[in-house]
Structure 1
Amino acid sequence: MPESEMYRQPTRSEIIELAVAEGHDADIPGNAGSIHQVPSHTSTPRSKHQNHDPKKPSAEAMDKDIEKGSTAESILSEEAVVDSNEDDPNVVSWDGPDDPENPMNWSYTKKWGTVCLISAITFLTPLASSMFAPGVPEVMSTFDSTNDMLEQFMVSVYVLGFAFGPMIIAPLSEMYGRLPLYHSCNALFVIFSIAAAVASSMGQFVVFRFFMGCFGGAPMVLGGGTIADLINREQRGTAMVVWMMGPTIGPCVGPIIGGFLTVAKGWRWNFWFVAIVAGALMLMSIILMKETSAPVILERKANRLRAETNNPKLRSKLASDLSPADLFKFSIIRPAKMLTRSPICLAMSVYIAITYAYLYVLFTTFTAVFKTQYHWKGGIVGLSFLGIGIGSLIGQFGFTYFGNKTVKKHIARNDFRPEHRLYTMCVGGFCLPVGLFWYGWSTQEMTHWIVPILGTGFIGFGLLMTFMPATTYLVDVFTVHAASAMAASTVLRSLCAALIPLSSSKMYKAMGYGWGNSLLGFVSLALIPIPFLFIRYGEKIRARNSVKL
């Protein structure tokens, strides 16, 4: 990293961008500090309301109106943020631009090796969410169950864990660093994968699947921050694309592997496979991974220097003014407030949640649909997930290309608004119902199997083209508190993805595949106006509504 880049004070926009990548709000200190940039008088975390500095904008001022962007942007401009710690001899920072302790100065091999490792872990845990879906009938037979609701829930309960685990993991990582959370969550993920493999009852199996989801969500919470710790802005986009492959195509590739593995070895081997691979990755991470969080590294350095010099006044440049209670409060209360008090956050989160739930409606029913309508058997059933996987992959690349092209055009014109992110969402909004109608009626009429597979490809494309722009829109609108807005969206979508599929089998039995999927299509049609409305009225809505956090 160039010396000038490392030692100039970061701008407000850079702090926000880095904070979002690290998975926290920009008023919580990260690798670039926080938007407050207030000198700490101790390295021990404390309540944000203690020792208030007159130069620091008050919490009330900073949180007055997070959607208008008026307060934060007027208090802290896009110019470099002034750091009053700079000339303080008691402030501990990096030892020059080439400090080997700074993760940005690690060797190319070490940095990209870490990125590849966390990308592999992040690929495995979403893959495990749906890998055993083709083996669901065998699981039901093993536990002598005929409960349709349980049949769907055993797949989607994993995603329920995604709603609860990250709410605890995120604040803990701010306090103790990323590495302890990686190791502990990886170990617990392996343990509960083994427990699911040897479960002796349906109740045990569902509980173990839930805890797999809780701890399996750790790399998705921590991975973006690890990449931001290691990779400079110019190369970070490439690393993030590699890392995002896991959550995008992992759930679609899993059933393809699981279909053949179930036939060859039985459904329990899906979990043994996950446990073996996760165990190998855990051992590699223990041996190869190091702590990458700059605040944690500098805090350890400050502790070491205090002991060596007997100077209790030494403090880390990135020391947090937040107590553990504050971190947990912000992690839980802020997202809840956003979801209930912001019309933008609520509308976008509902849209994301419903479309994401459709993904798990399909995951929990594909096996039954293609077995009954097309008489597919054995491992071939897993190939029914191929269409939605390819569609999702095309959607991700489509959003990246066209989304970036649109944003660059408006930035060049100097008229960029967050609502410009939503143009690609309008396209995805139409593709989703088209795919649902296509898939539903082609399955109902038992046309050639390629026809419904192509329909699911449209669904996968539509899902990514709605999910990705809606998420980036939330980041642009909420800026300083973008991570909390994304957390609110994540919790709602995980709850919907876990609970809505429970009624899918009954819906198909009552309405058939044609009208059942048409019902989902009509709901998605009703959602189409949302991005159009925000493109036209979003700026006015942001001007009229405020959320005090």
Structure 2
Amino acid sequence: MTPPTPPGLYRHPTRSEIIDLAAAEGHDADIPTNMGSIHQVPSHTSASPRNVQKDTPTAIEKDIEKTAGSGTGSISTTSTAAIADEEDAEPEPDPDPNIIDFDGPDDPENPLNWPATKKWGMVSLISAITFLTPLASSQFAPGVPQVMRDFDSTSDLLEGFMVSVYVLGFAFGPLIIAPLSEMYGRLPLYHSCNFLFIVFTVAAAVASSMGQFVVFRFLMGCFGGAPMVLGGGTIADLIPREQRGTAMAVWMMGPTVGPCVGPIIGGFLTVAKGWRWNFWFVAIVAGAFFLASLVLMSETSAIIILQRKVNRLRTSTGNKNLVSKLDTGLTPSQLFTYSIVRPAKMLFQSTICFAISLYIAVTYSYLYILFTTFTAVFTSQYHWHGGITGLSFLGLGIGSLIGQFTYIRYGNQVVHRHIRAGDFRPEHRLYMMCIGGFFIPMGLFVYGWSVHFQTHFMVPMVATGVIGFGLLMTFMPATTYLVDVFTVHAASAMAASTVLRSLAAAFIPLSSQTMYARLGYGWGNSMLGFIATLLVPIPFLFIRYGQGIRARSRVKL
């Protein structure tokens, strides 16, 4: 717990606060942000070099550094000695007058000091947009048979791909959006991506061929991923760390629950208006959010706000040596490297990053296998028709919601207990993942054979709820574990995981119809369950050997 700041004094952020904020903002912590950088920022003037001041690490932070190999034990670019030198460095006594920062902790230009109505209005709007865009990934799933008839297609491959191609956009769009937001700020990216999302949603609604439809769906995903890339950072810009939990929990519901709620709406809308109205519905709601964002949203990136302040002062004073405290000095090519090259290296050179990302990717692909087959399964096995087919997604959504709240409650309890005991290490995040891993194969076995034998529809519905519960109980602790292990480079680790899971969710479900046709629903889902069972030991192995693996692993970035 960070001690309160005495009135009138500015408390420099601790290393852990900078790392947490960088992870939320979607970049690595060696890039300066609105809390600064964990490394010395290079001087841009002829003045003496400047250091980023930091508090002395707390006992807990020291313990985490000691037990986790400085948190970045698998990254050779940030050694334990270097971090210790930085933390022990004396703060610079005479700050460079050419370096521009906020005017103390109460500066009204700082987004943390904006009026509460303005801040929470933006948080509410961003959370709503973040709920809508993942919802659009699966909303039209109950209308897939209609799409196939309208475009005269009988390809099982296209039947699954038209749903999952949206997620393929999630793999590529954020790699470009993230570095652009570092250069131009969050607001231009929000507005441009929201506008283009609406444009391509309308294009999908009026598509006249399967090829056009698939391309427009992919572009919807590319630009629809913007709020998931930028939303966490915006919330971190606006809401103090002590009050951020509620906002982050609401924002996180978008990508976890949105895809499960969408088909319930889409099932009834498809019957009432046809499959194209699923896209008109999304476009109308997104258009309303876009207009609201033009009125309510302002730039929250401290990098951009300070740079604007620098530009004003340069004009008024004529001093061309003025520079923002958060000026990174990174070129566009360097930002590109951070966004693309570094995650790829971490994925293929780090045992922990690869294994955890593989687990997430396989289980995430199961979610989209269910999305692309629920309509066919419940139509053929239970003779559901019309809008009621959308209700087949209800169990998955409820299970996911329960899994999210269970992890938030009990996962945090486990971690806090070890922090109080002074023996916390990142592997303690994985205890909940060990539990969740068993629910996925269990749910798949029950779901497959209950559908095969056409038991009462509530049995497969409950089974899909168990699957949803297991998915969230593995996905959330695995993601948090990556943040704790890679600390400084957490954003790159999460980017690597995001790309791999999006690719898996886009391509693995393409074979789902063929799999069920050849193996049946019982053995088909059992095969998925057997694969999920093979993955169950991963968190157990990392709990036992993770610390040693981190100590031996080296990734040259």
CA RMSD of aligned residues (A): 2.1
Q: Is the 8 A contact 1:67 1:547 kept in 2?
A: no
- 1:4 Cα deviation from its structure 2 partner: 5.4
1:234 paired residue number: 242
**Which amino acid in 1 is paired with 2:37?**
S
2:83 paired residue number: 76
Q: Is the 8 A contact 1:160 1:495 kept in 2?
A: yes
- 1:38 Cα deviation from its structure 2 partner: 2.0
Are 2:69 and 1:66 aligned? no
- For the residues of structure 1 that align with 2:418 and 2:330, how far apart are their CA atoms? 38
- 1:469 Cα deviation from its structure 2 partner: 0.6
2:17 paired residue number: 14
Cα deviations by residue, 1:161-200 (Å, 9 ceiling, x for unpaired): 0000000000000000000000000000000000000000
For residues 399 and 447 of structure 1, do their structure 2 counterparts lie closer, same or farther at Cα, with a shift above 3 Å needed? same
Q: Is the 8 A contact 2:74 2:350 kept in 1?
A: no
Cα deviations by residue, 1:270-320 (Å, 9 ceiling, x for unpaired): 000000000110010011100000111001110111011100011111111
**Which amino acid in 2 is paired with 1:36?**
H
Q: Secondary structure at the match of 2:178?
A: helix
Match of 1:390 among 369, 384, 398: 398
1:483 paired residue number: 491
- For the residues of structure 2 that align with 1:331 and 1:159, how far apart are their CA atoms? 19
- For the residues of structure 1 that align with 2:70 and 2:486, how far apart are their CA atoms? 12
1:35 paired residue number: 38
Match of 1:523 among 507, 525, 531: 531
**Which amino acid in 2 is paired with 1:30?**
T
Q: Is the 8 A contact 1:39 1:85 kept in 2?
A: no
**Which amino acid in 2 is paired with 1:297?**
I
Match of 2:258 among 247, 250, 269: 250
For residues 118 and 80 of structure 1, do their structure 2 counterparts lie closer, same or farther at Cα, with a shift above 3 Å needed? farther
- For the residues of structure 1 that align with 2:412 and 2:477, how far apart are their CA atoms? 10
Cα deviations by residue, 1:518-548 (Å, 9 ceiling, x for unpaired): 0000000000000000000001111111111
Match of 2:120 among 92, 112, 122: 112
Alignment of 1:185-334 (within 5 A): 185-334=193-342
1:434 paired residue number: 442
TM-score normalised by structure 2 residue count: 0.93
For residues 65 and 535 of structure 1, do their structure 2 counterparts lie closer, same or farther at Cα, with a shift above 3 Å needed? closer
For residues 67 and 6 of structure 1, do their structure 2 counterparts lie closer, same or farther at Cα, with a shift above 3 Å needed? farther
- For the residues of structure 1 that align with 2:138 and 2:298, how far apart are their CA atoms? 31
- For the residues of structure 2 that align with 1:323 and 1:115, how far apart are their CA atoms? 31
Q: Is the 8 A contact 2:42 2:50 kept in 1?
A: no
Q: Is the 8 A contact 1:37 1:84 kept in 2?
A: no
Q: Is the 8 A contact 1:103 1:229 kept in 2?
A: yes
1:168 paired residue number: 176
Cα deviations by residue, 1:410-456 (Å, 9 ceiling, x for unpaired): 11111111000000000111000000001000000000000000000
2:63 paired residue number: none
- For the residues of structure 2 that align with 1:471 and 1:19, how far apart are their CA atoms? 15
For residues 268 and 84 of structure 1, do their structure 2 counterparts lie closer, same or farther at Cα, with a shift above 3 Å needed? farther
- For the residues of structure 1 that align with 2:552 and 2:403, how far apart are their CA atoms? 34
1:125 paired residue number: 133
For residues 86 and 279 of structure 1, do their structure 2 counterparts lie closer, same or farther at Cα, with a shift above 3 Å needed? farther
- For the residues of structure 2 that align with 1:197 and 1:472, how far apart are their CA atoms? 37
**Which amino acid in 2 is paired with 1:141?**
R
Are 2:547 and 1:544 aligned? no
**Which amino acid in 2 is paired with 1:37?**
Q
Match of 1:181 among 158, 177, 189: 189
- For the residues of structure 1 that align with 2:88 and 2:449, how far apart are their CA atoms? 57
For residues 305 and 5 of structure 1, do their structure 2 counterparts lie closer, same or farther at Cα, with a shift above 3 Å needed? same
Note the residue ranges of structure 2 that are not aligned, 5 or more in a row: 53-68
Q: Secondary structure at the match of 1:537?
A: helix
Cα deviations by residue, 1:75-133 (Å, 9 ceiling, x for unpaired): 33595986649621111111233211110000111111100000000000000000000
For residues 541 and 469 of structure 1, do their structure 2 counterparts lie closer, same or farther at Cα, with a shift above 3 Å needed? same
- For the residues of structure 1 that align with 2:20 and 2:104, how far apart are their CA atoms? 24
- For the residues of structure 2 that align with 1:225 and 1:6, how far apart are their CA atoms? 25
Q: Secondary structure at the match of 2:39?
A: coil
- For the residues of structure 2 that align with 1:82 and 1:317, how far apart are their CA atoms? 18
Alignment of 1:500-511 (within 5 A): 500-511=508-519
- Identical residues among aligned pairs (%): 72
- For the residues of structure 2 that align with 1:148 and 1:234, how far apart are their CA atoms? 50
Pairs aligned (count): 536
**Which amino acid in 1 is paired with 2:25?**
E
**Which amino acid in 1 is paired with 2:23?**
V
For residues 5 and 195 of structure 1, do their structure 2 counterparts lie closer, same or farther at Cα, with a shift above 3 Å needed? farther
- For the residues of structure 1 that align with 2:523 and 2:164, how far apart are their CA atoms? 23
- 1:40 Cα deviation from its structure 2 partner: 2.9
**Which amino acid in 2 is paired with 1:547?**
V
- For the residues of structure 1 that align with 2:538 and 2:137, how far apart are their CA atoms? 30
For residues 315 and 146 of structure 1, do their structure 2 counterparts lie closer, same or farther at Cα, with a shift above 3 Å needed? same
Alignment of 1:79-90 (within 5 A): 84=92, 87-90=95-98
- 1:52 Cα deviation from its structure 2 partner: 12
Q: Is the 8 A contact 2:112 2:238 kept in 1?
A: yes
- 1:224 Cα deviation from its structure 2 partner: 0.1
